[in-house]
Amino acid sequence: MVEPQSPFVMDNPDVLAIVNNSVFGIYVPSSYEKKNIDSFLRRVYTSRLVYARDLKTILLFDDDEKEAPGKKNLWSAFHRILETRHLEEVVSVIDSDRKDTRIKMLSKRVRSYATETYYKYINLGYNTRQYRGKFAEVYSEQWQELPKVQSWADQTRGKGIKSGYYADGSFLFSKSKTKGMSVRESLDGILTYSLFSQYSLDNGQLYIRDDKPQINLLNTDLLVKDEDLMWASSLAYVGVAPVSVDSLQALSEIHKKGLKLFGIE
């Protein structure tokens, strides 16, 4: 299946193959992802959290990209790595690997945590739907700029985010429509930052961070069409609740409701 679409997230493999109960995800980084390895790693790992736990992953890359930044973490993220010029080998690799037990699976604890996070944020969105209305960028002088999170592509570097704030133990993002930018382009940084704030990456395995934020809220006017609901679902999977408010009071009420729903005192 070319360009599969999960019912939960917009981050998917480029090709999904099922052979005798074995599931393969084939990934081909876009030109943007080749320059932004963190975004590509987010797509890979978000889809791995959603698809079958024993999903075997295959990376197709160009020969001249071997020394590109972040490749060390890419190697550990995949079951098989093939050069694009050897595309014809994919079928034979799938056939030979379908019974291979050497699968780099994500832990059950991490997958369970991701699923629980998704339903918590879907529930928060449902219980705060009455707050959706007019949008305005709101700000408090008491908020602090969000700290950088560790890059997965280069773990010696940090990854920041614009229009992101830290308040009362929670992360608050703000994103308005930008002319000429798609929803995917607009949310790319927020999705990546949020996933990285929830998990660390080491040798192909995700680990739940101890210092993860209490709640992530995104105030935005991006998600207004029916087809944008999948982006709201994608945000929930990385632990973000999208809202649309025009006052600090409404944002504060949503935050308090979220703390109560999540059982945080």
Is there a single domain that holds both residue 71 and residue 180?
Answer: no
Is there a single domain that holds both residue 124 and residue 238?
Answer: yes
Biggest CA pair distance of the chain: 59
Quote the pLDDT of residue 8.
92
Spell 9-23 as b/e; 16+ CB within 10 A means b.
bbbbbbbbbeeeebb
Phi-psi region of 178 (alpha: psi -120 to 50; beta: other; left: phi over 0): beta
156, part of any domain: yes
Could you tell me what percent of the chain has a pLDDT over 90?
Answer: 51
State yes or no: pLDDT of 69 exceeds 70: no
**pLDDT tens for residues 87-107?**
666 666 665 655 555 567 889
Quote the pLDDT of residue 180.
87
Is there a single domain that holds both residue 49 and residue 169?
Answer: no
248, part of any domain: yes
103, part of any domain: no
**pLDDT tens for residues 119-141?**
999 999 888 877 777 888 898 99
The domain boundary residue, chosen from 36, 70, 97? 97
State yes or no: pLDDT of 25 exceeds 80: yes
5, part of any domain: no
The domain boundary residue, chosen from 50, 73, 97? 97
State yes or no: pLDDT of 253 exceeds 80: yes
The pLDDT mean for the chain works out to 86
Is there a single domain that holds both residue 121 and residue 220?
Answer: yes
Q: How many domains does the chain have?
A: 2
List alpha helices for the chain, DSSP H: 31-35, 37-50, 71-77, 89-97, 108-127, 183-198, 229-237, 248-261
Is there a single domain that holds both residue 184 and residue 148?
Answer: yes
**pLDDT tens for residues 32-60?**
998 999 999 999 999 999 998 888 888 88
For 23, the domain range is: 15-97
